[in-house]
Amino acid sequence: MAGGSGTEVVNPVKRCFLFLYGVKFPKEAVIKRILVVDDEEDVRKFTKNILQRAGYWVQTAGNGEEALEILRKAAPVALIILDIQMPEMNGYTFISELRKIEDQQSTPIIV
């Protein structure tokens, strides 16, 4: 991290990988909300665990419909980690519907 300011915003994906390599972040670092959308519960739990240990607030959803419901009721998220092949609503349809939500139109998505 750069010296001087004391607080640095680190992109969520970079921060997660840095955490896996043992880099520690100060308590003042900005905590971002991440939504993990995957139909496999083990994948959701594993991803949530890693991200929480890296200091992120994480919500999970089992399909696109559940994720949209969460996003319509809560504050915008900083990042969405998305599975493409899911029952009920696949990742492509989810992205299309997500872009209709004003607060989430530019949210980064990792597929």
pLDDT tens figures, 88-101: 999 999 999 999 98
User: What token pair was written down for 81?
Assistant: 């980690």
Mean of all residue pLDDT scores within the chain = 80
What is the pTM (predicted TM-score) of this model?
Answer: 0.72
Per-residue HEC secondary structure of the chain comes to CCCCCCCCCCCHHHHHHHHHCCCCCCCCCCCCEEEEECCCHHHHHHHHHHHHHCCCEEEEECCHHHHHHHHHHCCCCCEEEECCCCCCCCHHHHHHHHCCCHHHCCCCEEC
Spatial CA neighbour of 48 closest among 80, 22, 12, 56: 56
Task: State pLDDT tens for residues 41-61.
Answer: 999 999 999 999 888 999 999
Q: Is the confidence at residue 68, as pLDDT, over 80?
A: yes
Task: State pLDDT tens for residues 16-37.
Answer: 555 555 545 444 444 689 999 9
* CA atoms of 67 and 50, how far apart (whole Å): 20
